[in-house]
Structure 1
Amino acid sequence: MPLTDPARREDRMIAETVCSAVAVAGLGIAAVTAYRKRFLAAARLAAYSLVPLGLVMTGAVEWAAETAFSPTAWAGFGVLGAAWLLFLTTRAVERRGGGTRKERRAARAAKRDAVAPAASAPSLGPSNRPAARPTAEPRAAQPKDDFSDIEAILKKHGI
């Protein structure tokens, strides 16, 4: 319906008046806050107060007023809500392991085939380094105040 309908024009004017009043009241509160030397909070309040005024000036309030008082728009929101619920329900069923028998069978087969038969072989191929041989006799315990290892490291780095 065009906006020439008097009832729709009145709804739009009420919405614009409310938004403008909210903006003026917010700016007044921001001025009082600034007077109390709380400039950061005053600037934040002013920013929030200017949002409804900007919405009125861009025509968003007119669109919202038309949508809010339209039974067709509310039916559309209901259809969107039903679609959203169906989407969430199907996702929940899918995560619980639902689906067709063929999909479940394919998933089980994929889990069985996931382990490679040569999994114990090195993944990067044969190494050029000789294998480390374990020593038969354990190393003798070094005294705690022996700093020969540390000295060797320091000499290696030229310190």
Structure 2
Amino acid sequence: MSDVLLFTVSLAATVLGLLASWRFARSRGTASGLRGAAWSLVPLGFYLTGLTGFLASLALNPARWAGVAVLGLAGVLYVVSGVRLRSRAPEAGPRRVAPAERQGAAPAPRGGAALGDGMDDDMKEIEEILRRRGI
């Protein structure tokens, strides 16, 4: 595509977007108008940085499509690795033993209440599971 045509299309998209943003600012508020203005300036920014020419040549160039596919694959692999790293369980180290447990005595429940004082059976069971796991 010619440079003049790319500039004209980019400028037209920017002007139309800014007009729509002004309308949104009047009807929906300043924040919506500012957000619309930001998005409206993107086509002109693409043209001025040369990205519009790249995107126009991308449509007919298989080598550039391959590059975009490789970058997309790299992004997917990066995201998947982050998910996998977060989902790994922390390695179990040596468990800390409270002094009361070392002597064989039952640990005192949190809050000073004994197990069963005014609690229903479900709460007793939950507290017992948490106590066994050291939580």
- Bigger proportion of residues as helix: 2
Whether TM exceeds 0.5 here: the answer is no
Larger radius of gyration: 1
Please report the TM-score for the alignment, with normalisation by the length of structure 2.
0.43
